[in-house]
Amino acid sequence: MKAMLFALGLMLVATAGMAGEAETVKPVKLSELDVAGDIFEGSATERKTHEDGNVTLDVTSLLSSDKKFASGMYRSGKTREEITEPYGVDEFMYFLQGSVTLTSRDGTKQTIRAGEGVTIPKEWTGIWETDGYTKIWVIYSADGSGLE
């Protein structure tokens, strides 16, 4: 039934496009089920397996028309990464599950847990450590890099 409704929706969009009407721009919602993890079961999920065996799941829910702003959800297993080059984008993260410990270049440590948020400036360098987490992310990049 879902497949049939999806196909019907695609036909309606295609028909509207053929009639010369502009597509309506709408807000993008993350439902309660999406936030609970169902979002990672869709075909839009980018899955990466890293050299250490860690698997990450990433879904972009919105990429702005100017390609400088994006939002989505991300899930990662245990990771430790040294960020030696500036982070590159301004990113706000809200943690739904797990936690991350961020150690800035000067040795300052911050642990962000489920139910908390953090904004990482594009110039940040340091160490990112986690036993695993799920987050909602929002990224801004003035030149659009890092959002492909």
pLDDT tens by residue, 61-100? 999 999 999 999 999 999 999 999 999 999 999 999 999 9
What digits encode the pLDDT tens for the residues 18-61?
Answer: 455 788 989 999 999 999 999 999 999 999 998 788 899 999 99
Taking the domains of the chain in order of start, what are their residue ranges? 28-140
Q: How far apart are CA 21 and CA 72, in angstroms?
A: 28
Q: Which distant-in-sequence residues (6+ apart) come within 8 Å of 10 by Cβ? A: none
| Residue range 28-140, CATH number | 2.60.120.10
Task: Report the amino acid identity of residue 33.
Answer: L
Cβ pair 75, 134 in contact under 8 A: yes
Tell which residue, 73, 84, 1, 83, has the closest CA to residue 35. 73
- φ, ψ (nearest 5 deg) of residue 111: -110, 125
